[in-house]
Amino acid sequence: MVDIKSISTEQRNKLTKNLDVSSTVEILKMFNNEDKNVPLVIEKVIDKIALAVDSVTNCLANGGRLFYIGAGTSGRLGVLDASECVPTFGVSSDMVIGIIAGGDVALRHPVEGAEDDELAAKNDLMKYQLSANDFVIGIAASGRTPYVVAGLKYAKSIGAKTASITTSHNAPVSKVVDFPIEAVTGPEPLTGSTRMKSGTAQKLILNMISTTAMVKLGKVYENLMIDIQMSNKKLESRAVSIVVEVTGVDDNVAQAHLDKYKSVKHAIFAIISKIDDAKEIKRILDLYNGNIREALRHNIL
């Protein structure tokens, strides 16, 4: 049996013991007051997150991949963050990969015993031919989920860098990884329901890790998404707005360049550098690993 009492996220919250006899507004205020503490908890571990981000960035810059592994809510959050990197930063779907215990069916349905299946974690990572060039982040509220711990042990055994995101103090998984992150959110307002404060903390940290890494990889200019995929009308409009914002041209000129180059980054570079050959633009940007600031700095007289 698991020693539930030793896990902070499983303990009872004294401030919410009257949930079932409270009014709707009172319940919502309790939840909101508990949620307010989450960013403050994360603030305490910013330095730990930074160490992980720098290592993730180095991994991705050198052709490695970032994996998230988790079970239940934690696994779903990892899959969500990985999925959103594709349209947001224009990366391939095999650059950031989310793996959930029990497979994709577990995204919508509970899979009994999946979080306890240690062998499955190794097998799931092996399916992607995990290598020493990759980085694996385990996500687990309790920090003891067997699937996650086993996956991280396997990753370390082949030389991959590892990190963990937990919301419990002195979590077992923290002793396994290179970069432990413990954002201790305390007892949940609904006892044991780690989809609440714990899940919120994990989501915020995942956002921070992936977004900061992409910023450092040159996927962002100022605070604009210059590698977004123009996959719907809203993103097409956003692309035009970004080109206009950076270069100062009007909407028609921005649209013409986007039509020609099919890329926000390439359109911006073409307008500012006054280089109009698509192959030359690609060659220059590739030379600077897609970092538009560096490419512009070295190619504008």
Residue 5 contacts by C-beta under 8 Å, 6 or more apart in sequence?
11
pLDDT tens, 230-245?
989 999 999 999 999 9
- Please compute the mean of the pLDDT values over residues 108-117 and round it to a whole number: 90
Angle in degrees, 0-180, between the axes of helices 292-299 and 278-287, rounded to the nearest 10: 110
Domain spans, the chain: 4-216, 222-299
Confidence of residue 1 (pLDDT cuts 50, 70, 90): low
Distance from C-alpha of 182 to C-alpha of 194, rounded to nearest angstrom: 14
Question: How high is the pLDDT of residue 110?
Answer: 87
Distance from C-alpha of 84 to C-alpha of 174, rounded to nearest angstrom: 27
Question: How high is the pLDDT of residue 37?
Answer: 96
Lowest mean pLDDT among 27-31, 108-112, 151-155: 108-112
Q: What percent of the chain has pLDDT over 90?
A: 89
- 104: its two tokens: 């994709």
What SS3 class is residue 284? helix
Cβ(225)–Cβ(88) under 8 Å?
yes
Question: How high is the pLDDT of residue 299?
Answer: 75
Question: How high is the pLDDT of residue 10?
Answer: 79
pLDDT tens, 248-265?
999 999 999 999 999 999
CATH number of 222-299: 1.10.8.1080
Distance from C-alpha of 255 to C-alpha of 241, rounded to nearest angstrom: 9
> Each residue of 144-164: b (16+ CB within 10 Å) or e?
bbbbbbbbbbbbeeeebbbbb
- Which of 10, 115, 182, 188 is flagged as catalytic? 115
pLDDT tens, 48-90?
999 999 999 999 999 999 999 999 999 999 999 999 999 999 9
Which string of DSSP letters, residue by residue, matches 37-56?
Answer: HHHHHHHTTHHHHHHHHHHH
- 215: its two tokens: 């910023």
Among 188, 198, 185, smallest CA distance to 140 is for 198
245 catalytic, yes or no? no
Confidence of residue 3 (pLDDT cuts 50, 70, 90): low
Question: How high is the pLDDT of residue 5?
Answer: 61
Confidence of residue 45 (pLDDT cuts 50, 70, 90): very high
- Which of 84, 118, 236, 294 is flagged as catalytic? 84
- Please compute the mean of the pLDDT values over residues 116-123 and round it to a whole number: 94
- 291: its two tokens: 């970092």
294 catalytic, yes or no? no
Phi, psi of 67 (to 5 degrees): -115, 140
Distance from C-alpha of 15 to C-alpha of 11, rounded to nearest angstrom: 12
Question: How high is the pLDDT of residue 93?
Answer: 95
Among 216, 244, 240, 284, smallest CA distance to 55 is for 216
Confidence of residue 11 (pLDDT cuts 50, 70, 90): confident
CATH superfamily of 4-216: Glucose-6-phosphate isomerase like protein; domain 1 (3.40.50.10490)
Flag whether pLDDT at 301 surpasses 60. no
pLDDT tens, 131-157?
999 999 999 999 999 999 999 999 999
Question: How high is the pLDDT of residue 284?
Answer: 94
- Please compute the mean of the pLDDT values over residues 268-284 and round it to a whole number: 94
Cβ(44)–Cβ(204) under 8 Å?
no
